[in-house]
Amino acid sequence: MKFSLISSNQLLVLVLITIILMLSDLSHQKPNIINNNKPLNNHFKNLGLNLPGRHKLEFGKFENYRLKPTKLLGGRNTKKNNFIAPKNDTEIKAFLNYDLTKLDVQNSSQIIPFYNNYKTLFNKTYKTKEEEIERVGIFKQTIVSINKHNADDCSHYTQGINEMSDMKWPEIQKQKFGFKRPIARNKTKKIKFDKMLKSSNYDDNNIPLEWDWRKYGIVTPSINQGNCGSCWSFASASVLESHLMKVQIYEGNFDPNNQLILSQQNLIDCSREYGTEGCEGGSSKDAFEYVQSANQLNTYNTYPYTGIPNYCQFNNNMRINVDIKEVNRITTGADDELVSAIYRHGPVTVSFEANLNFMNYRSGIYEEPFCINNITHYMVAVGYTPEYFIVKNSWGENWGEGGFVRLSRSKINNCGISEQDYYPVLANDVGTDQMRDKLKEIY
């Protein structure tokens, strides 16, 4: 009985000591307060995407000429910029060109090794075995669809696999699109085609039947936007850099070996008050109006792309002056006006309805009979012929014809190509006719 009483007292003392120690420890802890001034996604701020290097482009068969990519892109050395060239780029291109009709998708001994190579080359990993089985199923369906399309002799373009071939449609919509209609502002001018012709002192006969700004070195390569709905920022940055380089040509300051590449991330992080929504989408009109107000932009090297929205980190000491006089919109459905703007001013951001067929585009003149002009995507029109528009995408050089697509002009406003199109007019803009003698083809 005595032993039991002593044990109980000791136990009571130990409990009291424990409680006192716990209270003392809690009194020294700092309260868990959320710091609203902390940068958004700061943890990921130093992460980057594996952006494609500047290797040979494949533009497909043009009617009268084939562009020479090395000269076309100014023979840039990838060591001079921040683009990360995939170590297995040659393997990826060979893999993408594999004859898919040789694959029996129902034969696991064929499709599984092929899919494993696909995963390795595109750095794909999945959390569970069940998810990977689902991805294999999507991949098989994609191959069947591609082979069916390519067997159609009436089609003017071919399809092939790419990094999206095992992705679900909602994933593609979220990660690869990003079109949003611009917010209501009164700054943008909507110019009718006939008024633009009169104000420019040009006549229709001065516009050549075909034009391609890539031939003059002012179109940069296609960069992959990654898993971020930032097509609007890529299109806007691409158009601005082309217009600035066009002025450099006129002023005699253009170096084709050192193309100007502007920061897409700068637009993502700093233009929100103008209506853009980062990886959730935006409008090139709103992006242009942000630059028009700021009057400046950083280069890609100064403000590299991460594909992760963050607080604005604009570097004023490394700014590029961008003096935009006005932002113009192509009249909806006015394909001729789009042609005129491309030739007279430079590349134009264009809207587009992208679907699963477009995801699989490999080469040729793309035409989609089932378009209903449900706009989802922004790209850049860099040239035209009587048959098609030449358009730069932002899904990297392993998609399409080296990152480009030829969009059919078989009908007006095909797939919404002239639905929501914008281009800036720089304060020192020079009409193309006035500088034709300074334009030298570099292919």
Report whether 52 contacts 397 (CB < 8 A): yes
State which amino acid sits at residue 195: K
Single out the residue of 72, 47, 99, 170 nearest to residue 397, CA to CA. Answer: 72
DSSP 389-425: EEEE-SB-TTSTBTTEEEEE-SSTTGGGTTTS-EEEE
Q: Is 377 a catalytic residue?
A: yes
Query: Of 81, 150, 162, 231, which is the active-site residue?
Result: 231
Pairing of strands 320-321, 348-352: unpaired
Query: Of 355, 377, 398, 415, which is the active-site residue?
Result: 377
Report whether 359 contacts 399 (CB < 8 A): no
Q: Is 231 a catalytic residue?
A: yes
Handedness of CA 425, 430, 433, 435 (dihedral sign): negative
Q: Is 312 a catalytic residue?
A: no
Query: Of 360, 393, 398, 414, which is the active-site residue?
Result: 393
CA–centroid distance for 171 within its chain: 15
Residues 6+ apart with CB under 8 A from 52: 83, 85, 86, 89, 221, 222, 223, 224, 396, 397, 398
Q: How far apart are CA 336 and CA 165, in angstroms?
A: 35
CB-count burial class (<10 Å; 0-12, 13-18, 19+) for 360? buried
Q: How far apart are CA 276 and CA 218, in angstroms?
A: 26
CA dihedral 230→236→241→247, nearest 10 degrees, is 180
Residues classed as catalytic: 231, 377, 393
